Structure 1
């Protein structure tokens, strides 16, 4: 199933998706695997979490702005053929649904996939991976230039929170550092003084 999904993503996701490509799916899967090892997640739950990680963004090949709904439809149509029960499929769909912004996890597995989906925000890859999302946002007219991109980033980084204890301890402080860097880069300290005061 993993090979099938990754091959489908690689073959069918539009080239304009510089962020939501197969590399992002693999990054999310790897981050989930790290949480699975760290938290000793039981094998059945781990299998469902990995499935959700593989499937969570597959819907972007059909609709960029509604991809979670389409990913869940794909899961419901596809996973019975791989032997998944209705309960399994409901859990996988719950994890995918939780990643829709603003993230809304209701259990540990959903918290893990939410943190894994944006793991890079609290790592040394923040600017490198962020540049691919900026490029994608330009194509889909989410932002028009670097300034509007950084304003979107400031709002997102300030409102976002990590849910797992690992994310809160190790990713959150790094993410906050990048948030402050972006504000200072533009000399926006006065405009965003409420954010600076909270950090």
Structure 2
């Protein structure tokens, strides 16, 4: 039990050790193989290990290998795995661990990250999949750009846009996750990234006719892979990923938007009517009736009822038109996760222009993101309309039934007052006959 506790402490200390080591020894030109990448690999490794509920010993090997797998970049990218193994073993020895079997397992897990990956056991498969988890993660485009930049800085490998897209497509198509858990966690988004790469390639270079036999074979392989991805997605989701919304869909969105806007205008008009009517009634009551209540005490209760009805109607009419203050800012995480709706000003008016521009460009490039945002916008417009009309219904009900109650109260008060008022003296004399 003590060993488990010690090893847990070793893993806790490894993070600080590796962070300091990478910051002090790995050149800043390695913009991809940095501490951020290491943390992402460790998180993915832990997630995969937890998915399979591995033993504490296996998890220790997996996580420690993930922490140290790129420390060898301190002396360059070539054969960095071997130097990473040496660093991991040195760290363990410095902390009182000298286990040949453990060293061998960690070495195998780190070597499993070498390209092309060739893991030989389950632990190595988990570490290998964790190392390339970004291929199916939300951070893919950022990490992809960093790899391209790192190649240019450290290997003098400068690629054009077409060369880079072809390189990425080749890498993605030749890669397969080794564990079922990784395929479940990252496979779907990885397939989506492959399709987006094809779209970008086609947008940049629409004429993709092969010019030689080698290019023809590559094109056939890519086409075959696309068909495979399409069949897998149709089988899983029941939807055709090649489906393109037509004019009917666009007309539906346009008509629905117009209907929502018209209904909102009607609600505001109805609320303005109630505001005006109740304001007029209150003005008349205050100007003409309130000043005479001291001599007409029988009208106090009906007047209070009338004023209460008007104030309640005003309250709900104002609620129907009162604007809601929103946060005004969408996070980059929400944009990358395609959860943000940038079509509504309340979600972006506090955002920096660069973040907003990035989000809009992503929406333009991704039809799923665009139509998802439009659908989400319609949904929240409906929520707002429902609140408006709920408040309006309450307002009109209060005004309708309240006015009836107020008028009845006035009639009862007047009739009761007249019935119980004393008959004037001169009227009484007229009724007495002359003697």
Matched, 1:129 2:156: no
CA distance in structure 1 between the aligned counterparts of 2:187 and 2:209, rounded to whole angstroms? 23
Q: 1:196 aligns with which of 219, 223, 229?
A: 223
CA distance in structure 2 between the aligned counterparts of 1:169 and 1:33, rounded to whole angstroms? 15
- Give 3-state SS (helix, strand or coil) of 1:186's partner: helix
Check whether the contact 2:109–2:124 (CA below 8 A) recurs between aligned residues. yes
- Give 3-state SS (helix, strand or coil) of 1:65's partner: coil
Change (3 A) 1:79 1:145: farther
CA distance in structure 2 between the aligned counterparts of 1:54 and 1:10, rounded to whole angstroms? 14
| Aligned counterpart, 1:17 | 30
Check whether the contact 2:92–2:98 (CA below 8 A) recurs between aligned residues. yes
Matched, 1:43 2:56: yes
Where structure 1 has 5 or more consecutive residues not aligned to the other structure, the ranges are none
CA distance in structure 2 between the aligned counterparts of 1:169 and 1:122, rounded to whole angstroms? 10
Aligned length: 199
Check whether the contact 1:35–1:112 (CA below 8 A) recurs between aligned residues. yes
Listed as ranges, the matches of 1:1-199 within 5 Å are: 1-2=13-14, 3-82=16-95, 83-140=97-154, 141-187=156-202, 190-191=209-210, 192-199=219-226
Structure 1 residue 84 displacement after superposition: 4.0
CA distance in structure 2 between the aligned counterparts of 1:27 and 1:126, rounded to whole angstroms? 12
**Larger RCO of the pair (alpha carbons < 8 Å, separation 6+):** 1
Structure 1 residue 11 displacement after superposition: 2.0
Q: TM-score, normalised by structure 1?
A: 0.92
Structure 1 residue 104 displacement after superposition: 0.7
Pick which of 158-167 and 188-197 moved more: 188-197
Where structure 2 has 5 or more consecutive residues not aligned to the other structure, the ranges are 1-12, 211-218, 227-435
Higher-Rg structure is: 2
Check whether the contact 1:162–1:168 (CA below 8 A) recurs between aligned residues. yes
Question: Any idea what the Cα deviations from partners look like across 1:91-118, whole Å, max 9, x if unmatched?
Answer: 0000010110000111111111111101
Structure 1 residue 71 displacement after superposition: 1.1
Structure 1 residue 14 displacement after superposition: 0.7
Q: TM-score, normalised by structure 2?
A: 0.44
CA distance in structure 1 between the aligned counterparts of 2:19 and 2:38, rounded to whole angstroms? 8
- Give 3-state SS (helix, strand or coil) of 2:49's partner: helix
Structure 1 residue 190 displacement after superposition: 4.8
CA distance in structure 1 between the aligned counterparts of 2:158 and 2:86, rounded to whole angstroms? 29
Give the RMSD, CA atoms, in angstroms: 1.7
- Give 3-state SS (helix, strand or coil) of 1:41's partner: coil
CA distance in structure 2 between the aligned counterparts of 1:145 and 1:93, rounded to whole angstroms? 37
CA distance in structure 2 between the aligned counterparts of 1:166 and 1:181, rounded to whole angstroms? 23
CA distance in structure 2 between the aligned counterparts of 1:68 and 1:59, rounded to whole angstroms? 6
CA distance in structure 1 between the aligned counterparts of 2:44 and 2:25, rounded to whole angstroms? 24
Structure 1 residue 130 displacement after superposition: 1.1
Change (3 A) 1:84 1:151: farther
Runs of 4+ deviating beyond 6 Å: none
